[in-house]
Amino acid sequence: MESRAAHFCSEIDKLHAKLLINVGVTTDWQRAEKEINHQEILNRIESIILEIVTSLSKAEAPVLALPNRSSWANISFDSAIGLQMSSRQSVTTIRADCPSSVTKFAQILKILSVIYRLVQSNSYATKSVCLHRDIYYNNTKLFGSQKAVDSIVDDISCMLKVPRRSLHVLATSKGLISGDLCYMEEDGTRIDCHSSSTAVSVSSNISGIKNIVSSAKFVMIIEKDATFQRLLDDDFCTKISPCIIITGKGVPDVNSRLMVKRLWDELHIPIFALVDADPHGIEIMCIYKYGSVAMSFEAHSLTVPSVMWLGLLPSDLQRLRVPKDALIPLTKRDESKLCSLLERPYLTSQPEWQKEMKLMQQSKVKAEIQSLTAIAPDFLTQIYLPNKLRYGGWI
């Protein structure tokens, strides 16, 4: 039994060993990043307020300059980190005398005042935090949606050049996690993810997590909630034990990404991605691995460049002879997205991924993970994933 398990994980162990060598090179650099102290955060917020007061004293309209988080022109790529914001970035100006931007100006100031209070109170050793939804529900008319709060907190983090976790404002999580993992939340709550039937919501305070205990051999990121639930239902974590599975339910939120990053930083075990064989799935996988344009200013704490593409590979569709009626033709949008992905800087260092994507381009079809049920109802958890893991079927 033990030798069977050992054989099963041999490829994974080899990968683990290889990754550990590389971790020694990068870890020191990552740890060199300093935490910003609370007083510095307060000073940065105060300087913004002082600028506003100075503008008004000169009878000028106050203006906020936000680094542009949506432009590729502000992005540079480093294979060890991923997509990160350039030091010389363009800014978007938010004016207080323009009706089209004054509401955003007010929203930023409001959240700044909340952050200021939270950070200030933390200096007395009481860790006070606030959820995005609390800010939203206290000011629904001002913000309109919780998404607006999320976006502005990111803008503030980027503007102040302060990590999100240091702002004491936490986003609600949408991700789920399950498997061989135990940890303690900041408030002392002990979390055990071992349950086979139900998953645990990803914590809202990843930086507050401590005492992580796991003997998992790998982590599997799953794109969709439906696939995640399927794996739970099929008791995947028990059958392919020990492992951890996590999903961000589509495009991952920051907490899901932070969790994956935290697991990598703590455990240094292989991290695989199981996504649909379509451009959207590949893009989601790239977000975990290399980061996003919008959050590039915090790439260091969000990206896991060691993520491997386990499946569903376009070449799997041919190899497994997935029935044609389970395949979907690429739309114009898919083709455009695929071209855009192939031009991204991070793919130049991934020839195997490029090959798979070009195969998709040539075949002009895509497929969801669920298409494997066309071969057999439990093909995914009984055959596909075990074989992939056993024989090193990742790229």
Partner 1 sequence: MLKEMQQVLRLIMLMGKQRQKLGLRTGGGLLLLLWTDTEVSTQKLNCTVNCTVAAAGPWCAGIQMEALQPALVRLKESMCPCVWPCNEPDPEELSAFTDLYGSLRFLLSFQVKDTRHCTSEWQAHLEAFLRTFTLANAGIQIHLKLKINQEASLREFSVKVKRRVALADQLLLTLDVTCSAPPPCCVKKGCWCVRGHPAIGGRLPLSIPPQTMEQGLFGDLSVQVVTLLTPCLLPYPNVATELTHIQVLVYNPSNIPVTGPSGFFQKLPAVLDCQELGLYRVYCSSFKDLVYSGGTVYTVEKDSWDDPEQESSLPTVQQSLLLFFFLQHSDPFTSQLTDLMATEMLIELHLEDILNNNRQALVAAVQTELRNTLKSQNHRKKQQEKLHAAAEVILGSSMSIVSSSSNMDFRNACLSRMKVCVCQVHDTHELAASLRESLWRVTSWKFVPKAKCFSTKMEVHPENDEPTTAEI
Which residues of the shown chain bind partner 1 in the complex (CB under 8 A)? Answer: 42-43, 45-46, 49-50, 52-54, 56-62, 96-99, 102-103, 105-107, 109-110, 112-113, 116-117, 120, 142
* Burial environment of residue 371 by CB neighbours within 10 A (0 to 12, 13 to 18, 19 or more): buried
The secondary structure of 124-146, three-state, reads CCCCCCEEHHHHHHHCHHHHCCH
**Tokens encoding 364:** 């002009």
Please say which residue, 33 or 60, places its beta carbon nearer to partner 1: 60
Q: Is 394 helix (H, G, I), strand (E, B) or coil?
A: coil
Please answer whether residues 376 and 370 qualify as being in contact, where contact means their C-beta atoms are separated by less than 8 angstroms. Answer: no
Q: Does the annotation mark 136 as catalytic?
A: no
Cα–Cα distance list, 252 to 75, 225, 273 (Å): 20, 11, 13
Q: Which two tokens stand for residue 174?
A: 């949408």
Report the residue number, 123 or 348, with the smaller CB distance to partner 1.
Answer: 123
Instruction: Give min distance, CB of 67 to partner 1, in A.
Output: 21
Catalytic residue (choose from 116, 136, 137, 290): 137
Q: Which is nearer to partner 1, 52 or 212 (CB)?
A: 52
In the complex, least distance from residue 379 CB atom to partner 1, rounded to whole angstroms? 56
Single-letter code of the amino acid located at 146 = Q
Nearer to partner 1, 129 or 395 (CB): 129
CA distance 154 to 298: 9
* Site of tokens 């203006």: 63
- Choose between 95 and 390: whose C-beta lies nearer to partner 1: 95
CB of 297 to partner 1, least distance (A): 23
How far apart are the C-alpha atoms of 235 and 241, rounded to whole Å?
10
117 or 333, CB closer to partner 1?
117
The 3-class secondary structure across 193-231, one letter per residue, is: CCCCCCCEECCCCHHHCEEEECCCCEEEEECCHHHHHHH
Inter-CA distances, 91 with 126, 292, 305, 365, Å: 35, 18, 28, 40
Q: How far is the CB of 156 from partner 1 (least distance, A)?
A: 12
Rounded to the nearest whole angstrom, what is the least distance from the CB of residue 91 to partner 1 in the complex?
Answer: 20
Residues pairing with 245 in the sheet = 178, 220
DSSP symbols for 79-126? TTTEEEE-SS--EEEEESS-HHHHHHHHHHHHHHHHHHHHHHHHTTT-
Q: How far is the CB of 54 from partner 1 (least distance, A)?
A: 5
Residues marked active site are found at: 137
